[in-house]
Amino acid sequence: MSEETAEALERIRHYVWTGFYQPEEIAEILCNDCFEPDTLDENWVLEQISSEIDRKLAEENSWKTPTDCDRLDQAFAELEKRNIIALQNAGYTQSDGIDDITEVWHDAGRGDSPIIGYCFYHGQDLERAIDGHGLMLTFGDILGTDDRGLEVGRTIKEVMEQHGFRTEWNGTIQQRINIPDIRWQKRTAIEHTSEA
């Protein structure tokens, strides 16, 4: 197996198991963003995505409800009620996530909104969670104040623990909050049938 093929299969696995993407979206990202256009055969990519979705759907039958991802959804909804912008799968990098937070804050009216802070994880964080290495949460005060940022961090820690998650955090603004034991089980939100 070529290095390129191995990388494509690994990326397909991650994108399918996130539970956030439709098959066509994954194919588009792989064929046009992750690799140079025309590097991958799109039909092969779609076949691999279909196979990976079949594997995931078969495993989903054994998942108990609520999954950790169900509880994470509830925790993020609770943060929103507390005027903390809470975004899941916010871009692929830390700077992407900050851009997404900034956009939401601007759309909400910036300083005229009741928003006090933010919490997010990005695509690289998600890959680590899928591979069993915990989920890192970025947080802060919406205006960048350290003291208020710590208050936001304490609120996030409290809400995560109320929803049954163990957290690791040293209580400083420099360290992100980790949910070390999360099992990434987000159900596939697509209608999928295997090709005969």
* Boundaries of every domain in the chain: 3-60, 68-179
pLDDT of residue 108: 94
Query: What is the Cα–Cα distance from 7 to 82, expressed in whole angstroms?
Result: 40
The SS3 assignment for 90 reads coil
- DSSP state, residue 112: G
Number of C-beta neighbours around residue 147 at 10 A? 8
Instruction: Report the C-alpha gap between 98 and 95 in whole angstroms.
Output: 5
Contact at 8 Å (CB) between 50 and 22?
no
- DSSP β-bridge partners for residue 140: 118
Are the CB atoms for 161 and 45 separated by under 8 Å? no
Nearest-CA neighbor of 105 among 73, 138, 83, 72?
83
Mean pLDDT in runs of 10 for the chain (196 residues)?
A: 86 95 92 82 92 95 95 98 98 96 95 95 97 98 96 98 98 97 90 46
User: What's the confidence (pLDDT) of residue 183?
Assistant: 97
116 in Cβ contact with 149 (< 8 Å): no
- 3-state secondary structure (DSSP) of residue 136: strand
3-state secondary structure of 142: coil
Q: How far is CA 92 from CA 61, 85, 124, 142, in A?
A: 29, 18, 6, 20
Q: Which two tokens stand for residue 156?
A: 């996030």
In this predicted model, what pLDDT tens digit does every residue of 36-77 receive, in sequence order? Answer: 877 888 899 999 999 999 999 999 999 999 999 999 999 999
Copy the structure tokens of residue 96. 């992407």
Give the per-residue pLDDT at 191.
Answer: 55
Helix count and strand count (H, E) for the chain: 7, 4
As beta bridge partners, residue 75 has none
Token output for 113 = 């909104």
Comparing C-alpha atoms, which of 14, 5, 44, 3 is closest to residue 126?
Answer: 14
> Distance (Å, rounded) from C-alpha 13 to C-alpha 15?
6
